[in-house]
A and B are shown apart, each in its own frame.
Chain A
Amino acid sequence: MREPKDRRSTEMENCSIMEWMDLPATDQDPGSLALLRVGQGDLRALRWLVDEWKQPLIGFFYRSTRSHADAEELAFQAFDKLHRAAPRYQPSAKFTTFLFTIARNLLITHHRKQKVRPTLVDADAAPEAVTPRGTDLHDWQEVIEIALAELDEAHRTPLLLATREGLSHQEIARVLRISTSNVKVRIHRARKMLKTKLQELS
């Protein structure tokens, strides 16, 4: 018999996966450890992974799509892919790298589909003016979101992975399958492009 959801969530929030699953404390990446257990058919570990990573994933997808529905759909697909890949998972890299490689591939497929099936918008209509109401950062939120969504994926993703997820340049290089120096260049360019777009939009 399954435990009630609320009790499970509270237990998960208050302890690490090692404590929660009665595992001995190790230096191993908790995400990798959990995914290895998912590969062995342990669905408690899958539940832990979902609870731990749903917010970062939804946030990452939302920043790239600006659609809450799309962000949740892509996050669900990412967990489904993660579960399917679990039996073949080799912890050669950090779990975060593995997860965001899946996320990025899903995002690319999503963007391709969007290009094939464009949204019904009036191409002749003037873009809606978005003006920050003051100097407070809060007033810039919408403008930054629009500017960020207008960046191309090759620049937006490394910036988000570095700032939002705190991935190192080396880890981002593994996700994007590019060199570390290229990651640095892309992040630098992304910041410059973002500033230019903010100037244009404000």
Chain B
Amino acid sequence: MKSPLPSDQQIDSFLRENPARASEHFDSRIEDWIDQLETQPAASARARRPRFRVIAALAGGIAAALIALLPIPSTTDRNPAASPALANANPTDSTPLDEELFALLDLVDAVDPAVFDEPDMTAFLAENS
């Protein structure tokens, strides 16, 4: 036979009971922790916060300096005439990448321009009609 279910009041009184007491291990751990806080006041959160702010400010400054040093392309880079520095630049100052690009351009220039001409379709149709 099934036993009757406990009432709400019985369940509540059961829940109010203390199911677990703090063990000696817990108490000694708490004691050690508070002892540590007493002997190391500098390690408290308040003491750590200003140091964190200084570190964060330094990191921010270094990041800003690095960004300022990065070569960011501007409109003057795309239009050399707009930049006196680039307009007067020595052509011999080219990089290996520039050399490759110039070599390709020379190759294109060397090809007979007639190769690129459109075939005369009128003559072709007249011949084959």
Contacts and interface: CB of A to CB of B under 8 A. Distances in A.
A54 B34 contact: no
B123 interface: no
B37 interface: yes
Contact of A5 (B8, B19, B31, B33): B31
Interface residues of B, number: 33
A76 B20 CA distance: 14
Interface string A117-147: 0000000000000001011010111001100
A58 B18 CA distance: 9
Interface stretch (A16-24, A79-87, A103-111): A79-87
User: Majority SS of interface residues in chain B?
Assistant: helix
A177 B49 CA distance: 29
A202 B1 CA distance: 11
Given A63-B19, A163-B12, A199 B26 contact: no
Interface stretch (B39-47, B59-67, B73-81, B105-113): B39-47
A34 interface: no
A137 B41 CA distance: 49
A72 B15 contact: no
Contacts of B51: none
A160 interface: yes
A135 B12 contact: no
Interface in B77-102: none
Interface of B: 2-6, 8, 10-16, 18-23, 25-26, 29-31, 33-35, 37-38, 41, 44-46
